[in-house]
């Protein structure tokens, strides 16, 4: 029997991470679902996939994240893709940075994904090259003053994409970014607000988790040049929005 290629997605038990896990599972991959506290969701999702396992790690703990990747790399024979999808999205603003919100955002959204990527590239074995995919945000090109620390953390994560690409030691490896727009209800949004806010883009359409998952599958093939970021947001990043769409929908 042909051995399945392996991928791991952080935050894979819920939301966009779960959609990515399902897409790779359906495409014939062995899926490693990372989760923080969502044990039941992770177990249920793994049970729905042809080949999957679950692993838990607090992404606020960089050392634990490194140890997790080292242990997986020691036993996975064809670990082709690492997707850093997990993140925290807490509110502070350009008028009032909250230092605890900032510290958590920078650790979970930027520092730990960078450590995961570095450890993966140092230790993982894969046929045909390895892929690191960071999930960033369309706010990189369309910033607003809301979610100040979160946005800074995503800029920091995005900065690692070209740097890791330049530092890679194997030409067949690829480092990518996916920059989503508004996909699922966030923060304290109601479904009605989501219907409005998620169409505030050039196409006037809702971007789906499946759109992100299909982009990740495309990038997993490694056809795109290393260091690139793909915006999957129905053109939201091409608009100037003075506030987060969460608040624009309430005006």
3-state secondary structure of 44: helix
Q: How far apart are CA 199 and CA 194, in angstroms?
A: 8
Pairing of strands 79-84, 131-135: parallel
Beta-bridge partner residues of 134: 84, 177
Tell me what pLDDT residue 1 has: 38
Q: Contact 152/102 with Cβ under 8 angstroms?
A: yes
Q: How far apart are CA 236 and CA 182, in angstroms?
A: 8
3-state secondary structure of 25: helix
How far is the CA of 172 from the CAs of 38, 80, 130, 132, 221, in angstroms? 34, 11, 7, 12, 11
Tokens encoding 80: 């082709």
Tell me what pLDDT residue 197 has: 87
| Tens of pLDDT, residue by residue, the chain (251 residues) | 358 999 999 999 999 999 999 999 999 999 999 999 999 999 999 999 999 999 999 999 999 999 999 999 999 999 999 999 999 999 999 999 999 999 999 999 999 999 999 999 999 999 889 999 999 999 999 999 999 999 999 999 999 999 999 999 999 999 999 999 988 777 677 888 888 888 999 988 989 999 999 999 999 999 999 999 999 999 999 999 999 988 888 76
Tell me what pLDDT residue 101 has: 98
Sequence ranges of the domains in the chain: 6-248
Q: Contact 10/201 with Cβ under 8 angstroms?
A: no
Q: How far apart are CA 22 and CA 110, in angstroms?
A: 25
Q: How far apart are CA 95 and CA 210, in angstroms?
A: 35
At which residue do the structure tokens 């945000």 appear? 137
Tell me what pLDDT residue 208 has: 93
pTM: 0.96
Tell me what pLDDT residue 100 has: 98
Tell me what pLDDT residue 2 has: 54
CATH number listed for the domain at residues 6-248: 3.40.50.720
């Amino acid at each position: 029997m042909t051995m399945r290629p392996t991928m791991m997605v952080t935050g894979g038990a819920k939301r966009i991470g779960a959609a990515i896990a399902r897409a790779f599972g359906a495409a014939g991959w062995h899926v490693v679902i990372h989760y923080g506290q969502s044990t039941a969701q992770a177990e249920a999702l793994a049970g729905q996939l042809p080949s999957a396992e679950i692993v838990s790690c607090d992404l606020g703990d960089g050392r634990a994240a490194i140890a997790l990747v080292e242990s997986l790399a020691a036993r996975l024979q064809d670990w082709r893709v690492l997707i850093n999808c997990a993140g925290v999205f807490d509110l502070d603003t350009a008028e009032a940075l909250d230092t605890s919100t900032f510290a958590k955002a920078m650790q979970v959204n930027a520092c730990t994904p960078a450590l995961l990527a570095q450890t993966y590239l140092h230790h993982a074995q894969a046929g045909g090259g390895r892929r690191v995919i960071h999930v960033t945000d369309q706010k990189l090109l369309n910033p607003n003053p809301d979610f100040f620390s979160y946005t800074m953390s995503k800029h920091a994560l995005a900065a690692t994409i070209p740097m890791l690409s330049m530092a890679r030691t194997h030409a067949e490896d690829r480092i990518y970014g996916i920059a989503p727009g508004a996909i699922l209800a966030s923060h304290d949004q109601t479904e009605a607000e989501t219907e409005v806010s998620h169409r505030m883009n050039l196409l006037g359409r809702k971007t789906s988790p499946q759109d992100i998952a299909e982009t990740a599958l495309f990038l997993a093939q490694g056809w795109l040049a290393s260091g690139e970021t793909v915006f999957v947001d129905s053109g939201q990043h091409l608009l100037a929005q003075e506030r987060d769409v969460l608040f624009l929908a309430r005006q």
